[in-house]
Amino acid sequence: MALDDRVREDLAFIREAIEEGRGYATAGGRDMVVWGIAVAIGYLDSYAWRYGWSPIEPGWLWLATIGLPWLYSLRRVWGRAFAGEPSPPRPSPLVAALRMLWLGLGIFLTTLGVAAVWAGAMRYGWFNAVVAGTLGSGFFATAALAGLPWLRWVAGAWWTGELAVFALRQTPEVQLLSAVLMLALLAAPGLALIARRRKLAAA
């Protein structure tokens, strides 16, 4: 095989891998919307509870705002386990990397959150900043792996939000800021990815 032919094949493989990664990222838009709205509700209830405006104790609501999105994101796993749905075809390495990236980040934040609550460390206020920084890292990696450069701006906004959240960590307003970040930098990008997917499907 000539060198030029090999280069063309390698470039075609890279383009195909990036396109698959972009397709996976756009397919994940619904999960972003669900997680962004659910977690924002948890933050807003925590803020309202602090001032006596909400009758719902935050601890119990957080169980729902974290547990239900996990059930939604793992819906295909439950479908294969309990409904006998066929296993999907083996994903490309790039899609598998994206999937494991976000699954790993989700497991990290969930287990760290549980540990912080268990140890009574939430009162120090650092956890929200960790969430913002972690999501920024996830978006930054996804921008490169999926060939969606605009997600780098989302990552940068998350990292800027991380600094603001840390600065406000001992104030009630940190809950409001965290809710805004979830809606603006998780749910809104998810809606943009959904719109992009529909546009491509209609083309």
- How is 146-181 classified by DSSP, letter by letter? TT-TTHHHHHHHHHHHHHHHHHTTTSTHHHHHHHHH
Kindly state the average pLDDT of the residues 54-62.
92
Burial class (CB in 10 A: 0-12, 13-18, 19+), 159: middle
Per-residue confidence (pLDDT) for residue 153, from 0 to 100: 97
Question: How large a percentage of the chain has pLDDT more than 90?
Answer: 63
pTM of the model: 0.86
> What is the pLDDT of the chain when averaged over all its residues?
85
Instruction: Name the CA dihedral angle for 31, 36, 38, 44, rounded to a multiple of 10 degrees.
Output: 180
Roughly how many angstroms between the first and final C-alpha of the chain, as a whole number? 36
Kindly state the average pLDDT of the residues 13-20.
51
Model confidence at 46, in pLDDT bands (50, 70, 90)?
very high
Instruction: Name the CA dihedral angle for 129, 183, 191, 134, rounded to a multiple of 10 degrees.
Output: 10
Range of the domain at 185: 3-83+91-202
Domains contained in the chain, number: 1
Model confidence at 29, in pLDDT bands (50, 70, 90)?
confident
Per-residue confidence (pLDDT) for residue 197, from 0 to 100: 79
Per-residue confidence (pLDDT) for residue 97, from 0 to 100: 84
Per-residue confidence (pLDDT) for residue 22, from 0 to 100: 54
